[in-house]
Amino acid sequence: MPSRLKIAKPLHAAVNASDAAADAVPASNGRRRVLATFAGASVMTLVDPLVRAGAWAAGSDAPEKPEVRIGFIPLTDCASVVMASTLGFDKKHGIRITPTKEASWAGVRDKLVNGELDAAHVLYGLIYGVQLGIGGPKKDMAVLMSLNHNGQAITLSSKLAEKGVKDGASLKALMMKEKRDYTFAQTFPTGTHAMWLYYWLAANGINPMQDAKAITVPPPQMVANMRVGNMDGFCVGEPWGARAIADKIGFTVETTQAIWKDHPEKTLGTTAEFVQKYPNTARAMVAAVLEASKYIDASASNRRKTAETIAAKSYVNTDMDIILDRMLGRYNNGLGKTWDDPDAMKFYQDGSANFPFLSDGMWFLTQHKRWGLLKDHPDYLAVAKQVNRIDLYKQAAAAAQVPLPKSDFRSAKLLDGVVWDATRDPKAYADGFKIKV
C-alpha cells in the first residue's frame, strides 16, 4: 500500500444520514478529542479530518464482495461482530455481514483456510499459528483488528476448592502433596487461552508441560466436561467462567486481566489472500465492527442490549444475566468474593482495544517459542508486520472516525513482574523465563 493517500469520495457518502445504525451511536463519540493513556504512555490522537473524509486509494471504494460470512464461537467477545450485523452497521459501510456459528476453533481455522468463511472472530494466537504452520496447515493470514481486551478467566473445579485451593500457591501446594495426574483445558494449542493458562501456572511454579496435562476443549463444552470430572481447571472466554460458578461446579481463580491488564484477545482474522482479492470489503468489515465496538462500550444500557442479543440460541445460547454481569464488571469468584472490576472486557476503549499492535502479535510468538510450539526463533517483527494489517486498519478507522495510537507498539508488566517490551529483544524475552520447554 502506498504511504500517501489520495483523497477521493468519503466511504459510501450516499448512505442516508437517517440510517438507524448511524443513529445508534451518540454523535459525540466519533468526534470528541480523546486523550487516553494505555500501556504506560501511548496517547490516542484523532484521525486527521482530511484523511477521514478521503478514501484510502485512487479508484472506487465500493466493496468488491458485498456479502460476507464471518464465523464466530459462542463467547461474549463475539459481540461486536454480531452487533455490526444486527444493528446495521454493516449496511452503513456497504456490506452485509452474516455471522455463522461455529463449533470449535479448529473448525474456524479450517473454514478460514479453505475459504468457507470470509473472516472470523478468532483467537490471536490461532492466526499466528496458521501463519507459521503450527497448530494446523500453513497459510498466509491477516489480523485486521483486535476485537477486545480482557474478559477471560481461569476456572478451577469445586473439588479443588474443597481441598483448600483458592489461588495459585495453594494449587501448587496441593499438587506437591497429592501426586496424581492434574488436567487443565484450553481451547486451542496456539491460542490465547492456552497462553494465559500456561503463563499463570508457570508464574505459580507449575510447569504446564511437565507437572500437568493440557487438553483442548471447545469453549461451549468446557462446563459440561468439568461437570463430569474430565478436568481440574480450564481457561476460556466468558460467559463460560461465570456459567461454571452459576452451576456450582467451579470457581474463578484468576481473571486474565489480572495476568495482563488490557491484554489482546480475539481478532477479526482472515487470510492474506482475501485481503489481496477484496481490500475494500476487508476495510468495510473493519469499519462496521469498529462502529459496533463503539456502540457496545458507549453505555451500560448498550451493553445490556448487547447481552440480550447475543444470549439468543443462535449466538451464545445462555442466560442473559450470565453474560451481562461480567460485561459490566460485576464479578463473583464463586468462593464468596465479589468485586467491581474496572478492567473487565473492553470492546472499544476509545480505539485502543481495536488497534492491531505489532507488539501484541509478537508476544504470542514469544510464548509459542517458550512452550516449544516453535523450535526456532522467528523474525518476530517481520512476521507481525506481515500479519497485522495496520495499513488497512488505519484506513478503516478513518472511515469510522476512530482515533489512532501514536505508536504501533505498546508495553506491559504481567503478573509475574516481567515487562514485555517488543522494542527490546524478543528473543531474550522468550528465552528468559525460568519455566519453559
Q: What is the CATH number of the domain that holds 196?
A: 3.40.190.10
* Mean pLDDT score, 315-336: 98
> Side-chain half-sphere of 323: how many Cα atoms within 13 Å?
22
Find cell 485512487 and name the residue: 58
What confidence category does residue 10 fall into, taking pLDDT thresholds of 50, 70 and 90?
Answer: very low
**Long-range contacts, 134-139 (Cβ 8 Å, 24+):** 134/189, 134/190, 134/368, 134/373, 134/374, 135/109, 135/188, 135/189, 135/190, 135/373, 136/106, 136/109, 136/110, 137/113, 139/113, 139/271, 139/272, 139/273
205 shares a domain with 110:
no
235 shares a domain with 301:
no
> Side-chain half-sphere of 73: how many Cα atoms within 13 Å?
29
- 394 in any annotated domain: yes
Q: For 71-128, what is each residue's pLDDT tens digit?
A: 999 999 999 999 999 999 999 999 999 999 999 999 999 999 999 999 999 999 999 9
- The strands making up 266-271's β-sheet, listed across from edge to edge, are 96-101, 67-72, 119-123, 266-271, 141-146
Residue 167 belongs to what domain range? 152-259
Query: 148 φ, ψ to 5°?
Result: -165, 160
Q: Per DSSP, which regions of 272-398 are E strands?
A: 330-332, 338-340
Q: How many CB atoms lie within 10 A of CB 320?
A: 17
Average pLDDT, the chain: 89
Which residue among 224, 241, 259 closes a domain?
Answer: 259
Q: For 207-252, what is each residue's pLDDT tens digit?
A: 999 999 999 999 999 999 999 999 999 999 999 999 999 999 999 9
pTM: 0.88
Least Cα distance to 152 among 310, 289, 263 occurs for 263
User: Which residues are paired to 266 by β-bridges?
Assistant: 123
405 shares a domain with 314:
yes
- 12 in any annotated domain: no
402 shares a domain with 275:
yes
Residue 231 confidence (pLDDT)? 97
